[in-house]
Amino acid sequence: MHMIRNNQITQWLKRRRQVVVTASSIVWLSACAVGPDFERPASPQVQQYTATGTQTTLNAGKDEPVQYLTPGKDISAKWWTLYRSPQLTQVVDEAIVHNQTLAAARATLAQVQQTLFQTQGGYYPQLDLNANAQRQGTSSSSKSGTASTYTLYSAGANVSYRFDLFGTTRRQVEQAAALLENQGYQLAAAYLTLTGNTVTQAINIASIHQQIKAVQDIIADDEHNLQLVKLKFEAGKAAQRDVLVAESQLANDRVALPPLKQQLSVAQHALAVAIGKLPGTWTAPAFDMNEFTLPTALPLSVPSELVRQRPDILAAEAKLHADSAAIGIATSQLYPSITLSGSLGSESLTTSGLFRASSGFWSVVAGLTAPLFHGGQLQAQKQAAIYTFQASAADYQQTVLTAFGQVADVLRALNHDAELVGAQKTAMDTSQASLKLQRLSYEAGKSDLLQLLDAERAYQQARLGYVRALAQRYQDTAQLFVAMGGGWWQVNNLSGMEERATSTSTSVSMP
């Protein structure tokens, strides 16, 4: 059996019951099992994620933090704490505890674990105890003319055992164990998605807050401009057209506010749902971009190690393993099976007679079943299993390709984010200085209103662009942690087995 990286999922399960078959025992048991033995796919033999290599120093320019990509750096189990925001840490921790998608994945993992235990029962004889009382009667005979009735009591035990000559049970256990690994990795993937989305949503909320503040400041400037133009108009130093232009600019800038408020509401509600709360009962913290610290030392796993860290790749690999075992199960159906059964008990007309030695009976039966003709069903079943395995192999390769594509995208994005933040910061500083000069010039009567409004518009766009670029850099940093696997293998008891083992409640209530 292929074991999970660092045996984490297996260790979670073993805390409750030490029955998961170890790799060494599977190798021994598989010696006589028909069908292919699973071989783990090799890691891609590549040295870099992009064709042009990876830039390890990400410099956004003056007054902006420099990020460094560190090959081989360990990923913290709680990487979001690197943002240095207590509010963010609290929200993510709460999401891990209360998110319902994660709770469903944990419950499904526990269910698949029980399926494995059930399948492992095929290794052992099946023993049943039975007892019955049967009322019987005979019809009257011609000689005696009377009928008789009596009660027959019986008690005993039946035992049966199916010899696993060609590995049907062994392959079934192998398949169930692989499906357990698959579900464990799906749980890790759900955990990774949840933490990544929660951090991204919190940064999104902070960005929208800052954009709203920027638009409100712009509106305040528009209102100041309108008052100034009206005073000039009343003094005969400005035309009516200037008043209308100022009013139009104020109205247009006010239009930008409601969509931002709607985006904020959607983001807040999404965050509430992520942490398992009804939007009407929970309010998201007022995140601010200034409270976040951009992580500067970023982990960069080597490509050959990525396939051992990404839970989506590992889940696809476990699915491939399960489908490999399915070929063995289908192949074993083509061979004979032997079943040995026996019974031991006693029969008596009275209950006290059941315990006499003379009332005992026993039997032993050996049965052989060999397929002769099934209309091609068994061969078709085997061939279907082979095609399923081939489809899973293609799915695995596609999952690897998609994962490497995501890593390449986020590495390029971080590089471009640094460039964009630097450019937007320069544009914002330049447009702000230009706006100050235009205001002084307009108030001194040396320039017209349109020049002032053009300067304000340029500053408005640069300021909003800087806020968005900054938020994108923070979000893409979070995406890098997710793309590298997020350190899920360092999380203790991700499956939550201990908690569920002590809970017997089946009620469902809304938070």
| Band of residue 365 on the pLDDT scale cut at 50, 70, 90 | confident
pLDDT in tens, 423-441: 999 999 999 999 999 888 8
When pLDDT is averaged across residues 221-248 and rounded to a whole number, the result is: 86
Question: Does the pLDDT at position 420 exceed 90?
Answer: yes
| Band of residue 391 on the pLDDT scale cut at 50, 70, 90 | very high
The residues, ordered by sequence, that sit 6+ positions from 107 with a Cβ below 8 Å of its Cβ are: 500
| Band of residue 354 on the pLDDT scale cut at 50, 70, 90 | low
pLDDT, position 141? 55
Query: Which of these ranges, 19-23, 71-75, 367-371, has the smallest mean pLDDT?
Result: 19-23
User: What is the CATH number assigned to the segment(s) 5-124+165-334+378-501?
Assistant: 1.20.1600.10
Nearest alpha-carbon partner for 382 in 430, 328, 322, 459: 328
pLDDT in tens, 61-77: 888 999 999 988 889 88
Contact 301, 484 (CB under 8 A): yes
297-300 β-sheet, strand order: 57-58, 67-71, 297-300
pLDDT, position 93? 94
> Mean pLDDT of all residues in the chain?
86
Q: In whole angstroms, give the CA distance from residue 300 to residue 49.
A: 10
Query: Which of these ranges, 16-20, 277-281, 441-445, 507-511, has the smallest mean pLDDT?
Result: 16-20
Question: Does the pLDDT at position 486 exceed 80?
Answer: yes
Question: Does the pLDDT at position 11 exceed 60?
Answer: no
Question: Does the pLDDT at position 225 exceed 50?
Answer: yes
pLDDT, position 400? 96
For residue 434, give Cα distances in angstroms to 228, 449, 455, 462. 19, 14, 7, 12
When pLDDT is averaged across residues 96-124 and rounded to a whole number, the result is: 94
When pLDDT is averaged across residues 331-348 and rounded to a whole number, the result is: 87
Question: Does the pLDDT at position 98 exceed 70?
Answer: yes
pLDDT, position 187? 96
When pLDDT is averaged across residues 126-145 and rounded to a whole number, the result is: 73
Pairing of strands 360-369, 337-348: antiparallel
pLDDT, position 257? 94
pLDDT, position 278? 94
pLDDT, position 197? 96
pLDDT, position 152? 78
Nearest alpha-carbon partner for 211 in 175, 247, 264: 264
pLDDT in tens, 302-339: 998 999 999 999 999 999 999 999 999 999 999 999 99
| Band of residue 285 on the pLDDT scale cut at 50, 70, 90 | very high
pLDDT, position 439? 85
Work out the burial of residue 444: count CB atoms within 10 Å of its CB; fewer than 13 is exposed, 13-18 middle, 19 or more buried: exposed
Question: Does the pLDDT at position 271 exceed 80?
Answer: yes
pLDDT, position 509? 52
Contact 152, 63 (CB under 8 A): no
pLDDT, position 419? 95
pLDDT, position 416? 95
Buried b (16+ CB within 10 A) or exposed e, 120-131: beeeeeeeeeee
pLDDT, position 128? 87
Domain ranges of the chain: 5-124+165-334+378-501
pLDDT above 70 as % of the chain: 87
Strand ranges, E, within 59-189: 67-71, 126-138, 148-163
pLDDT, position 142? 55
| Band of residue 5 on the pLDDT scale cut at 50, 70, 90 | very low
| Band of residue 145 on the pLDDT scale cut at 50, 70, 90 | low
